[in-house]
Structure 1
């Protein structure tokens, strides 16, 4: 098991590269929030979008998107992000209900779960991301006079650096149950960094802890370069996701956790479409078909 992370420092914000994808997800959450059949409510999301010049003309309601729900980006892909938000919301709330009082958001981006979920007052939410991303979020939320419902602790550190040390330095207790989310994160990281991350979560967690993350199973990501959602994302907002995803081999993180005694479950997004009775359905040349949502629990001795 690795004890040290690759060293890297990066204070980048949300105006380019992977940081810009945080605004994409925020716009999707804003659109989802305004739907009459919304799966997740995030009243802060549209304020992030409007605060950044990089996306000032992006839609925050489906009526503002060209073609509405038929738009592959703002219709289908945004629905996917909205459904993913709901699935992870439900997982987090269940985990807290089972006794976890520490929440760790890995690559937190513009996540507002500390503000919008009904969390116990003795719950602590640790948000790990680059300093520039957390600074942008702080500025927007301060302007809105937003108050978190639980204690919120920003942890400004790149996940390619010693984030474990930074996390424990601000009060995270490895001996108390915790719940971790890595939402839309791992496929941007090189395989060895993902391995370090999973090793570290395993090392920093005790019985009763939980982890949810999103993985990709494709052997060749570029096979989906011309899929509607990737093409629409490139053409409409200039984000080439396939250039941002790491192209190296992916570790079997779910298998690693299972081998270490975690109880793991893996689902396709379409399983949740059926569960919630709304969301994306499979289609041809579908960039979502290789996506998997993994939920893992660390049982007691």
Structure 2
């Protein structure tokens, strides 16, 4: 919901990097009396990472759409949370988007989106792709569940791991990548973000809730480039600070390389080698 709040804020900007008309709907449905993310306690957290979420959303949107245009007609959104990409992005014809998360998360989003009407004549909001919701727990056998939902491992796919890696301990991050790799045909694309924890970030999220103290679990045990390359992926990794500057946005304080109390943050894409 915190990410949804940031996406809703970004969508109100004149110079917005994307438009997410569903983010505020999710917030309103979850908290009819007002979202806790709209209170003053969240201000420090939003200041620390707000531009990171805006920039990463645009970067990952662009990466997924480019992958589909280049031949990946299957897209998999892992632990999708309040992601509305099946509805808000202009997917090329023939695209199938698989969305994995807990059953209650997917049911909540489906109910909210079904309640939204758009012109003309109050037409219900519809996905811009073939949308397949896949109730799954990433700690269990989700590859089998995904296959049963119609995913074809013989065809290239575009994978999204957004807001996941840093929340996993190293062994769980390795297992996730190994499973993605085992399901990927050559030419598949993986898009992701990752970031280091820091004193600034811990303080900001604890100010929202003590339950967020341990949100960061470290993720991969090494830099993203060798971690991905060892499994046959050809990675491109960029610092979030550089991408923020590309979009003429301030460097997110939590990932500002010039601050001693901050960590590093990255956005990465990788293509699976044809030689695998």
Relative to the length of structure 2, the TM-score reads: 0.87
Query: Is residue 151 from structure 1 mapped to residue 126 from structure 2 by the alignment?
Result: no
Give yes or no for contact 1:31–1:59 (8 Å, CA) kept in 2: no
Cα distance in 2 for residues equivalent to 1:31 and 1:140? 19
* C-alpha deviation, 1:205, in angstroms: 0.8
Cα distance in 1 for residues equivalent to 2:150 and 2:96? 9
Match of 2:161 in 1: 182
Give yes or no for contact 1:187–1:246 (8 Å, CA) kept in 2: yes
Query: Is residue 214 from structure 1 mapped to residue 193 from structure 2 by the alignment?
Result: yes
Q: Aligned to 1:284, which of 259, 264, 267? A: 259
Q: Secondary structure at the match of 2:269?
A: strand
Give yes or no for contact 1:198–1:253 (8 Å, CA) kept in 2: no
Give yes or no for contact 1:194–1:251 (8 Å, CA) kept in 2: no
How big is each residue's C-alpha offset from its partner over 1:223-280, in whole Å with a ceiling of 9 and x where there is no partner? x23x1x5433332x32653312225873555423212332101111111012112142
Give yes or no for contact 2:174–2:220 (8 Å, CA) kept in 1: no
Cα distance in 2 for residues equivalent to 1:35 and 1:49? 18
Q: Aligned to 2:46, which of 61, 74, 79? A: 74
Match of 1:83 in 2: 55
Q: Where does structure 2 lack aligned partners over 5 or more consecutive residues?
A: 117-123
Match of 1:139 in 2: 111
Q: Alpha carbons of 1:248 and 1:183: their partners in 2 closer, same or farther (altered >3 Å)?
A: closer
RMSD of equivalent CA atoms:
2.5
Q: Aligned to 1:256, which of 208, 219, 227? A: 227
Q: How many residues align?
A: 264
Query: Is residue 267 from structure 1 mapped to residue 241 from structure 2 by the alignment?
Result: no
Give yes or no for contact 2:168–2:219 (8 Å, CA) kept in 1: no
Give yes or no for contact 1:47–1:140 (8 Å, CA) kept in 2: yes
Give yes or no for contact 2:162–2:192 (8 Å, CA) kept in 1: yes
Match of 1:125 in 2: 97
* C-alpha deviation, 1:146, in angstroms: 2.1
Give yes or no for contact 2:205–2:213 (8 Å, CA) kept in 1: no
Give yes or no for contact 1:195–1:251 (8 Å, CA) kept in 2: no
Give yes or no for contact 1:27–1:59 (8 Å, CA) kept in 2: yes
Between 250-259 and 85-94, the greater mean CA deviation after superposition? 250-259
Match of 1:296 in 2: 270
